[in-house]
Structure 1
Amino acid sequence: MPLSGAMLAVSAYAELSTALDLGTGKAPQSLSRQMSLKNGTAAGQADRVFSDRRTLAASATEDLDLAGVLLDAFGSAITFARIKGLVIAAAAGNTNNVVVGAAASNPWATLLSSTGTVTLRPGAFLAVGTGTADATGYAVTAATADLLKIANSAGSTSVTYDIHIIGASA
């Protein structure tokens, strides 16, 4: 089943200001990136997507198998060979943090290395996109480098997070 389109956009804006003798000085600063992908497996293309809201019990962890275990919205198994976009967002109502990365075995290491992690505090999010000129993306190797670990940082309460993965099968 073809992917009819995918887009990932991130934008940041801030404005510094200071009082001057005869007015106010302002320095607006912004950074925006956007990636639109068409159906396929080459540069600027993707053909797989996984999206879910998940909850982990206190102190729980899960390894999301990026090669053959996750199911798409229609119940079909997804095998990613390359990840082109990833968004993970911790629920604002969480008490504990959501920790991403460092699976004990077969870690998906092309983004964070095999031991690297990112801690998402309540309400925080992580967004990564490869850009439309990148055909490689972040490689997934079935059975040896395909597990994305997600963990609840503490034993007091459960955590909820949303995840959206855009990638290619080849």
Structure 2
Amino acid sequence: MAFDAQFFAQFAANYTNPLDLTTVSSPVSFSQQINFAQGSGAGQADMMWSDTRTVAASSTDAIDLAGSLTGPFGTTATFARIKGVIVRAAAGNTNNVNVVTPSSNGTPLFLAASDGIAVKPGGLFVWIDPSAGGVAVTAGTGDLLNLVNSGGGTSVTYDIYIIGASS
């Protein structure tokens, strides 16, 4: 099997201030592309997993990155390292989708256990690490990534995309 992936980030804005005789403009733009080729070194990955998932009110979706996910060809996806995570919260959600490193057996995506980020309805979380190391996934002790419904009353839906290396 062969693998390649491309991530694109683009931002463009124009801030204007209309004055009496002129309009002052401050345009800003940023564009970055990060490519991944087949392998497990820097700028490389060899596996991916994606899904659309729903989390019940006040519940947690614990994603086990080492052995419980089914890859796109029906095989078990066991990540040794992750190099990219994208979470897109559905615009119709009422609550946030919190992306969290659990305090027990968490994959150290964030700086400390229980750290995370709230992805508000319609929002997007993107994390990319093209280094050779990525973030280590350790089966049984550091392999969970939690997606938490921030509130009660309604479920939340999100799309998730993960790329990484098997070794």
Aligned equivalents of 2:151 and 2:162: distance in 1? Answer: 25
Q: Could you say what secondary structure the match of 2:74 adopts?
A: coil
Q: Is structure 2 residue 87 aligned with structure 1 residue 88?
A: yes
The answer (yes or no) to whether the contact 2:64–2:144 under 8 Å persists in 1 is yes
In structure 1, what is the equivalent of residue 160 of structure 2? 163
In structure 1, what is the equivalent of residue 27 of structure 2? 28
* Offset at residue 112 of structure 1 (A): 4.3
Deviations 1:74-125 (A, max 9, x none): 2211111111111001000001111111324201114342120111110011
Aligned equivalents of 2:147 and 2:78: distance in 1? Answer: 19
The answer (yes or no) to whether the contact 1:48–1:166 under 8 Å persists in 2 is yes
Question: For residues 18-167 of structure 1, what are the structure 2 equivalents within 5 Å?
Answer: 18-131=17-130, 134-167=131-164
Aligned equivalents of 1:87 and 1:112: distance in 2? Answer: 18
Aligned equivalents of 1:72 and 1:94: distance in 2? Answer: 27
User: What letter matches 1:6 in structure 2?
Assistant: A
Q: Could you say what secondary structure the match of 2:91 adopts?
A: coil
* Offset at residue 21 of structure 1 (A): 4.0
The answer (yes or no) to whether the contact 2:110–2:116 under 8 Å persists in 1 is no
Kindly, what percent of the aligned residue pairs are identical?
A: 47
The answer (yes or no) to whether the contact 2:83–2:134 under 8 Å persists in 1 is yes
TM-score under structure 2 length normalisation:
0.94
In structure 2, what is the equivalent of residue 8 of structure 1? 7
Aligned equivalents of 2:109 and 2:147: distance in 1? Answer: 16
Which region of structure 1 is more displaced relative to structure 2, 34-43 or 97-106? 97-106
Aligned equivalents of 1:9 and 1:83: distance in 2? Answer: 18
Aligned equivalents of 1:104 and 1:35: distance in 2? Answer: 31
TM-score under structure 1 length normalisation:
0.92
Change beyond 3 A, Cα 1:124–1:142: same
The answer (yes or no) to whether the contact 1:10–1:127 under 8 Å persists in 2 is no
Change beyond 3 A, Cα 1:112–1:94: farther
User: What letter matches 2:96 in structure 1?
Assistant: N
Q: Could you say what secondary structure the match of 2:141 adopts?
A: coil
**What stretches of structure 2 of length at least 5 have no aligned partner?**
none
Q: Which runs of 4+ in 1 moved over 6 A?
A: none
- Cα RMSD, aligned residues only: 1.4
